[in-house]
């Protein structure tokens, strides 16, 4: 075969290829997409999660572990999350930055730790005298709260998800009796978030210390009082060994929501089914934690009081009334200066007013009826 014939044959073959490709272009594209989809289905994602809690700490720490276990099972092993406790990969209070910058794909924490970055973040954990756990979940998932939270975290390259709630907490552990407002004056107390700003107005020196350092801080007198969570966690930390008085109610954290934060690029890199699994697993551990605390706080409190001799005390009504008054003042002042804070605060406040009206004839009415003999 001479050179001209070879050239002609090659030209004909190339032409046919182009024609066939153009005729079946959509089919070829569909095939390519199908292959891409299959590859995404087969890819294994190995992520890191950093937390502000000690590794495997009951309740708070186990929520992160439970998420990792659930996500791996739901994904058939395609999403594997390794959990790091506070200090194992990054310090406890650097969780936000680590996830924002992509050092870790996920973090488990509480939004009020980041009020130094944005004051509004505190509203997504808990507000003194604000929403309880049931109400927080309602506001977040059906009252517009999640949309506001995502909007707040967008500039930080983060996707937030509610991922745990302890229910109403305790007011805390004290090494002095609180019989009046005067007893708070000069007290050095670990209490983060808006609650810390409130008590500072009545003479308390509020400090923010990671959970893993609280026992030693109380033991050595670095602080005089600390709030943490409630009987279940407080018993595990052994606070009854370093403080005498245990006060209630947890006016400062009536419905503290924990957060799962996800690096935005990492989240968007997941196929849609894995994104749904991340969201679904977070929703599951959000409720699971509340169930866990509801079941375990009772027995833990009984042990603290009847086995370890802890003195359980209620904060006086006049102290609570003043703390409530100061809380409303603080919230109004912040809202007047910060339009973003005001937007979230007003949404939450409107939801709370509706919830209060309904709960008067539902939850509160039932609690009263249950006590009638």
Where residue 161 sits, what CATH number does that domain have?
A: 3.40.190.170
Number of structural domains in the chain: 2
Q: What percent of the chain has pLDDT over 70?
A: 89
Instruction: Answer whether residue 106 is part of any domain.
Output: yes
Q: Which domain holds residue 178?
A: 172-254+309-371
Instruction: Answer whether residue 302 is part of any domain.
Output: no
Chain mean pLDDT for the chain: 91
pLDDT tens-digit profile of 152-178? 999 999 999 999 999 999 999 999 999
Same domain, 190 and 339: yes
Say if residue 3's pLDDT is above 50. Answer: no
Same domain, 181 and 157: no
Instruction: Answer whether residue 350 is part of any domain.
Output: yes
Same domain, 316 and 289: no
Instruction: Answer whether residue 320 is part of any domain.
Output: yes
Same domain, 67 and 155: yes
Where residue 346 sits, what CATH number does that domain have?
A: 3.40.190.10
Same domain, 102 and 181: no
Instruction: Answer whether residue 13 is part of any domain.
Output: no
Same domain, 176 and 318: yes
> Across residues 61-78, what is the average pLDDT?
97
pLDDT tens-digit profile of 300-352? 999 999 999 999 999 999 999 999 999 999 999 999 999 999 999 999 999 99
- Phi (first) and psi of residue 165, to 5 degrees: -155, 135
pTM: 0.86
Instruction: Answer whether residue 93 is part of any domain.
Output: yes
**Which of 294, 319, 353 corresponds to the end of one domain?**
294
User: What span, in angstroms and rounded, lies between the C-alpha atoms of 334 and 197?
Assistant: 11
Same domain, 142 and 181: no
Instruction: Answer whether residue 15 is part of any domain.
Output: no
Reduce the secondary structure of the chain to three states and give it as a string: CCHHHHHHHHHHHHHHHHHHHHHCHHHHHHHHHHHHHHHHHHCCEEEEEEECCCCCCCCHHHHHHHHHHHHHHHCCCCEEEEEECCCCCCCHHHHHHHHHHCCCCEEEECHHHHCCCCHHHHHHCCCCCCCCHHHHHHHHHHCCHHHHHHHHHHHHCEEEEEEEECCCCCCEEECCCCCCHHHHCCCEEECCHHHHHHHHCCCCEEECCCHHHHHHHHHCCCCCEECCCCHHHHHHHCHHHCCCEEEECCCCCCCCEEEEEEEHHHHHHCCHHHHHHHHHHHHHHHHHHHHHHHHHHHHHHHHHHHCCCCEEEECCHHHHHHHHHHHHHHHHHHHHHCHHHHHHHHHHHHHHHHHHHHHHHCHHHHHHHHHCC
pLDDT tens-digit profile of 72-116? 999 999 999 999 999 999 999 999 999 999 999 999 999 999 999
Q: How confident is the model at residue 5 (pLDDT cuts 50, 70, 90)?
A: very low
Same domain, 111 and 230: no
> Across residues 231-249, what is the average pLDDT?
96
Same domain, 95 and 242: no
Same domain, 73 and 125: yes
Same domain, 239 and 355: yes
**Which of 270, 294, 318 corresponds to the end of one domain?**
294
Same domain, 352 and 215: yes
Instruction: Answer whether residue 299 is part of any domain.
Output: no
């Amino acid at each position: 075969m001479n050179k001209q014939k070879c050239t002609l044959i090659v030209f004909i073959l190339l032409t046919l290829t182009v024609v066939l490709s153009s005729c079946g272009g959509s089919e070829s594209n569909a095939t390519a997409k199908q292959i891409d989809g299959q590859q995404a289905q087969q890819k294994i994602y190995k992520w890191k999660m950093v937390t502000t809690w000690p590794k495997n700490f009951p309740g708070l720490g186990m929520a992160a572990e439970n998420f990792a276990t659930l996500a791996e099972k739901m994904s058939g092993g395609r999403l594997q999350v390794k959990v790091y406790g506070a200090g194992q990969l990054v310090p406890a209070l650097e969780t936000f930055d680590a996830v924002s910058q992509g050092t870790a794909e996920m973090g488990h924490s509480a939004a009020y730790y980041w009020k130094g970055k944005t004051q509004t973040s505190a509203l997504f954990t808990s507000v003194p005298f604000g929403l309880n756990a049931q109400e927080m979940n309602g506001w977040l998932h059906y009252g517009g709260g999640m949309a506001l939270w995502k909007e707040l975290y967008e500039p930080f390259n983060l996707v937030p998800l509610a991922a745990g709630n302890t229910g109403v907490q305790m007011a805390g552990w004290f090494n002095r009796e609180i019989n009046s407002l005067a007893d708070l004056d000069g007290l050095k107390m670990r209490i983060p978030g808006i609650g810390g700003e409130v008590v500072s107005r009545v003479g308390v020196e509020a400090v923010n210390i990671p959970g893993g350092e609280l026992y030693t801080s109380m033991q050595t007198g670095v602080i005089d009082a600390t709030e943490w969570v409630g009987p279940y966690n407080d018993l595990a930390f052994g606070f009854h060994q370093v403080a005498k008085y245990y006060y209630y109610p947890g006016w400062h954290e009536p419905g503290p929501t924990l957060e799962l934060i996800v690096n935005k690029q990492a989240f968007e890199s997941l196929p849609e089914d894995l994104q749904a699994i991340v969201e679904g697993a977070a929703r599951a551990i959000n409720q699971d934690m509340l169930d866990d605390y509801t079941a375990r706080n009772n027995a833990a409190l009984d042990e603290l009081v009847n086995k370890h001799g802890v003195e359980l005390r209620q904060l006086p009504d006049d102290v609570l009334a003043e703390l409530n008054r100061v809380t409303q003042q603080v919230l109004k002042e912040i809202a007047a200066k910060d339009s973003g804070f005001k937007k979230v605060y007003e949404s939450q406040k409107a939801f709370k007013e509706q919830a209060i009206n309904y709960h008067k004839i539902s939850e509160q009415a039932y609690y009263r009826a249950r006590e009638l003999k």
